[in-house]
Structure 1
């Protein structure tokens, strides 16, 4: 796989040894300054390894092992990017006993963990977590909607799931988080179709426990309290619940068709009639993103994620008002000091579970790595850490990584040995030495291009000349043939030429002379005058009389005659 960071002008090969031609791979996300890439494990396993890239997408490191990605259907993966908070993703992991577990990351894949179960959850197992249904469950026939989040509803995520030690086929309930996945609450019993409206100020849901629901539910406090409204008294088969893309409006539409007539029916509900007041500044409260993160560490890094603390203005739970259509959450941010949490493990390194240290992966022999970037090899000598793409932390922990420009072309794979104890390389001298190489490469490329163009022109000229010479040869090869006929002409002036021709052909008295020049000379030498030697066509007995009409000749030089 190759990556371009300049719009396709130059390409560089990725460093990912597990990516071979016989393995399936899929780019899952590249929206947050890095790439999430799934690579299947060998064999028909239904799982693989999830990798994350460095900032330029060239070097990859392992993010999640045994990532669930079944090999049936199209895009059946539980990988999901949470839109309402930075750095949070959901995925499913399959264990060695084929049990499936829901996983969450709060730092763009640097570390993954199981999802905490809601408080006071009833679970028979000692290790209970929230298991979330996604595309895999839907493909297996589970009645559930996919996870839902929107950018302007900060921290809000709706999912279908249940509390257990592994994902099950039991009927799911609706769970909600208001803080980006750190804590969860069960808000609705049974499966529902749901939508987020009014930038998170309104949640609308319709039950899927029956095919013909008549009641729509809505909440203005992130699912803590629900109100019901009967929108129809008819038996309408529900097919969908929709709101305007982006989730800003106060209206939603319920789609369905009549059970008897099969006619489509759409119910549009405008909740402004119920929630008429427009929100003001007193209706908002400050909400800190990732507030519960890293509380056990030293002071100053609580709530820090990817190098900064963020806070937003959100509606108070008890506010009965609606956001304006053009509402945007107000953000306040502050940069944090760097720690190991701001770094992920470099290629060929792994972070053991429960640790923030990056240790050498035993599957690799060395910590040195050669990277091909824009036509040149760069040797990366690393102690195992690289800053997570998009992390903006300053100061603090700074691992010392060395990038030594080897000035070697990737296609020839020429590598110079640079020893660490020899000291720093003189960059000025390197630039001087590299310039002739670059000019030589450019000159060689130009000469090759000119040579190819000249060869093409010469071949074209030779081909055209050969064609015309061959045509001239064919024209000269074929001689013009003249045919002569003796046509009887009547003495009268009233009979036309066609009548004369018909009469001559009918009487079989047409004569023609087909003697070549050589035959004429031979006849003269034998004493046989040419003018008295005639051959007949149509009859072997020709009566030569003294009143033979004058000979009338015609010349037929049609294409057929030229070729005979």
Structure 2
């Protein structure tokens, strides 16, 4: 993995490998409760920063939980909680992390009163934690069968807190939100229902809505208030059967209640029950290089979707603009939106496979997300360009041990890693001198990507060097390796003690 040179990771979590692209959460040396998100190109080799200071927490079995949520059925749309001056705030992206913005607060509260607030001091912030209970969905739910609909628990204000939590819903993939319930409940596996598993027993733990949260019906199914522990859903997203399990008191046995929703539906859904909805980002309809349309159920329609019914999607490609491209490896976005080389990056450095006289694809500083489908003349403006391989003298040679230390044990395999920033090519040779009278040469540095192994037969301090050279010049680097023997000191002490006894 090639990370920006300022990254000093102490932990790494793989978040996603969708679309042949790796999203990794990396904790830097100074971070304790947050991670930085990085995204790779198609090979999963070069990573660029996607979002800084994403909130993290400890999960079950010591797993690390990252506050990143991908909206089901809509590629490129993510929600994430980020630390900003010790405050947790929720951000959304519609282009797979290139641009992020705060969630817009609802226009009114649950009572219909206007909410007067301005970003960033007053916006919507959501709990994105995945439930530790395998039988509950947690604090946020979206489904492929209900495109654009997201239900989540959260608060309106300057930051995310655990007090005065409400349930919010959006029908347009996060552009606008409305408060639908002032209760801190975990959401169930069905998009039109949720189950309250509050820390106290509730007489009406089941809520059901047919108009995307505008109105809710309360249901009870036991004679006494119930603590809800979890929900077991039948296989399949559209099977309207669930089993709720809970208990009447902390010392009582579990109670299981099976609920069949099919009796409340009088008919199957038809084409007239669906409406066409277009994905957008605050009015911008070109998302990830496409105009996308979805068929979803109308609000207030009370019908059951057949198991084989397909919710169709349509898309039209958009002309490429600068907004469809993220900064390539080694480049950073400037105030004017352009991508310029970072302070640590040398644009003239070519790929290891570049040979003098051949050509290579040289970056313009931009790269298009793999799932972005934009087309047009502007695509060539930002795409890599075919250029001739330059002739360069070796520069920036580096030599390390694979363990990252300068100490080795006698008789063990020591692996040396060699890197060269400039002057790479088939004409550049590399010689590694192990300092014990042994040296080995390679015609091409790319042939030793896995390192060079060597075993020392005597203890001591060795001067190890690597030299890279071609017809334009050379570069040399040195390190000192201390080879010791674990048992040597014990043997010497034993011999000394034996001599004194004699």
Query: TM-score with structure 2 length normalisation?
Result: 0.69
Equivalent residue, structure 1, for 2:255: 265
- Assess if the C-alpha contact under 8 Å between 2:168 and 2:179 holds in 1: yes
Structure 2 equivalent of residue 401 of structure 1 = 384
Distance in 2 (alpha carbons) for counterparts of 1:150 and 1:279: 18
Trace 1:342-353 onto structure 2 (pairs within 5 A): 342-352=324-334
CA, structure 1 residues 233+118, in 2 after alignment: closer, same or farther (shift >3 Å)?
Answer: same
SS of residue in 1 equivalent to 2:37 = strand
Matching residue within 35, 38, 56 for 1:69: 56
User: Secondary structure of 2:374's match?
Assistant: coil
**How do 1:230-241 residues align onto structure 2 when only pairs under 5 Å count?**
230-241=220-231
> What does residue 187 of structure 2 align with?
194
Q: Distance in 1 between matches of 2:185 and 2:419?
A: 60
> Could you tell me which of 271, 280, 283 is aligned with 1:290?
280
8 Å CA contact 1:248–1:325 kept in 2: the answer is yes
- Say whether residues 1:58 and 2:45 are aligned partners: yes
TM alignment of 1:528-547, pairs within 5 A: none
- Structure with the larger strand share: 2
* The one of 219, 222, 228 aligned to 1:229: 219
Q: Name 1:172's counterpart in structure 2.
A: 165
Q: Deviations over 1:414-470 (max 9, x none)?
A: 61499xxxxxxxxxxxxxxxxxx99xx8xxxxxxxxxxxxxxxxxxxxxxxxxxxxx
Q: Measure the CA separation in 2 of the matches of 1:216 and 1:382.
A: 55
152-161 vs 123-132, greater mean Cα deviation? 123-132
RMSD, aligned CA:
3.6
Q: Using a 3 Å threshold, how does the CA distance of structure 1 residues 36 and 260 change in structure 2: closer, same or farther?
A: closer
Aligned partner (choices 421, 424, 432) of residue 415 of structure 1: 424
Q: TM-score, normalised by structure 1?
A: 0.62
CA contact (8 A) 1:159 1:176 kept: yes
Once the two structures are TM-superposed, the CA of residue 315 in structure 1 deviates from its matched residue by: 0.8
What's the counterpart of residue 181 of structure 1? Answer: 174
Relative to its length, the structure with more helix (as a share) is: 1
CA contact (8 A) 1:206 1:213 kept: no
- Which of these residues, 128, 133, 147, is aligned with residue 127 of structure 2? 133
**Residues 51 and 256 of structure 1, relative CA distance in 2, 3 Å threshold:** same
Residues 68 and 81 of structure 2 are in contact (CA less than 8 Å); yes or no, is this contact kept in structure 1? yes
Aligned partner of residue 168 in structure 1, secondary structure: coil
How many residues align? The count is 390
Alpha-carbon shift at residue 318 of structure 1 (Å): 2.5
Distance (Å, rounded) in 2 between the aligned partners of 1:323 and 1:257: 33
Question: CA 1:17/1:378 → structure 2, altered by over 3 Å: closer, same or farther?
Answer: farther
Change (3 A) 1:58 1:215: closer
Structure 2 spans left out of the alignment, 5+ residues: 110-114, 392-416, 428-442, 448-502
Cα gap change, 1:246/1:98 in structure 2, threshold over 3 Å: closer, same or farther? farther
Q: Which has the larger radius of gyration?
A: 1
Q: Verify: 1:206 aligned to 2:171, yes or no.
A: no
Q: 1:239 to 1:357 in 2, by over 3 A?
A: same
The residue aligned with 1:322 is: 304
Instruction: State the alpha-carbon separation in 1 of the partners of residues 288 and 266 from structure 2.
Output: 39
The one of 85, 95, 98 equivalent to 1:110 is 98
Distance in 1, matches of 2:217 and 2:355, equals 63
Distance 2:251 2:25 in 1: 47
CA contact (8 A) 1:206 1:216 kept: yes
